[in-house]
Amino acid sequence: MLVLGRRRTRQSTDGSGDAARSESPPSHRTDQPSAELVTAWVHFVRDHVHESVAGLNNRLSAIALSVEALKRTRLSDEQHEHTERVTQEIQLASKLTSALAHRVSSDAPEIPPRAWRVLRDAAARPARILVVEADEGNRIVLARLLRALGHRVTSVLDGREAWETLSGETFDCIVCDPRLPGPGGRALFEQVEERLPHLARRFVFVTGEFTAPATHAFLDGTGRPVVGKPYELETLLQAIATVLEEVGVVADAER
């Protein structure tokens, strides 16, 4: 396990008894990712993109079938012309998605983001992470990514289910969108702050409404990390690593 460097203290040898600050001895380890980690990262990127492309192509195929069925009905010349244009656009979109999948297969980044390496290599143990996210795509991708890093993930889609989960289990980090069905993220946080205060410091908020005055005031008042949507995975992973460092699961997330 890669443990990121810390500053250490040692007693001076001049007899004064004062502690002198010094850097820890140089390590033979480097910040270069292991071959195993690189392979896991590339596979994650490729698999996720291919799955997304497959889902998009399935939807395009369904639209194309609907258009073909529409063509068999009695259409005016103008309507027929419009359906032909739709068919052409579908074909173009299919080519673009196929090209994207091919490009990712050949050009997937070979170096995982630093936060990915920290969460995997500097973790003392698998972290328990709760993802509270109404958007199914975001929820699935983030849960899959964190599991690929070796952590234990529970994902829920609303505040009610999140509270029920938190009432029965403890978590090292809670990734939460303030905008949720039912009791929102704000109500969830306030309930946790009142009844489970030790967990309130473990929140990371993700939101696309940070500039809304009420949301901004609430998030600013929590003192917790906030990641704006749409987010870069590196930014979100770094915020999660920071929280996990605070609870002692990850060593030196910032180094």
Instruction: Map out the domains of the chain as residue ranges.
Output: 35-107, 114-246
Cβ atoms of 110 and 65 within 8 Å: the answer is no
Task: Provide CATH code, domain 35-107.
Answer: 1.20.58
* Per CATH, domain 114-246 is 1.10.10.10: no
**Distance (Å) of CA 32 to CA 147, 184, 240:** 22, 41, 21
Q: What is the DSSP letter of 203?
A: E
Strands 19-23 and 7-11 turn out to be: antiparallel
13-26 pLDDT, tens per residue?
334 333 333 333 33
Q: What pLDDT is stored for residue 35 in this prediction?
A: 60
Q: DSSP E strands: which ranges in the chain?
A: 7-11, 19-23, 128-132, 152-156, 173-176, 203-207, 226-228
Q: Of 240, 247, 244, nearest to 226 (Cα)? A: 240
Q: What is the mean pLDDT of residues 242-252?
A: 88
Q: What is the mean pLDDT of residues 18-47?
A: 51
Q: What pLDDT is stored for residue 59 in this prediction?
A: 80
181-228 pLDDT, tens per residue?
878 899 999 999 999 999 999 999 998 876 778 888 888 899 999 998
Domain 35-107 matches domain 114-246 at the CATH topology level: no
Q: Of 200, 195, 204, 190, nearest to 133 (Cα)? A: 204
3-state secondary structure of 174: strand
The pTM assigned to this predicted structure is 0.62
Averaged pLDDT of the chain? 78
Q: What is the dihedral sign for C-alpha 241, 153, 228, 97?
A: positive
121-144 pLDDT, tens per residue?
888 899 999 999 988 878 888 888
CB atoms within 10 A of CB 188: 24
Binned at pLDDT 50, 70 and 90, residue 99 comes out as confident
Binned at pLDDT 50, 70 and 90, residue 235 comes out as confident
Amino acid at 202: R
Distance CA 62, CA 67 (A): 9
Render 55-104 in DSSP notation, one character per residue: HHHHHHHHHHHHHHHHHTS---HHHHHHHHHHHHHHHHHHHHHHHHHHHH
Cβ atoms of 170 and 202 within 8 Å: the answer is no
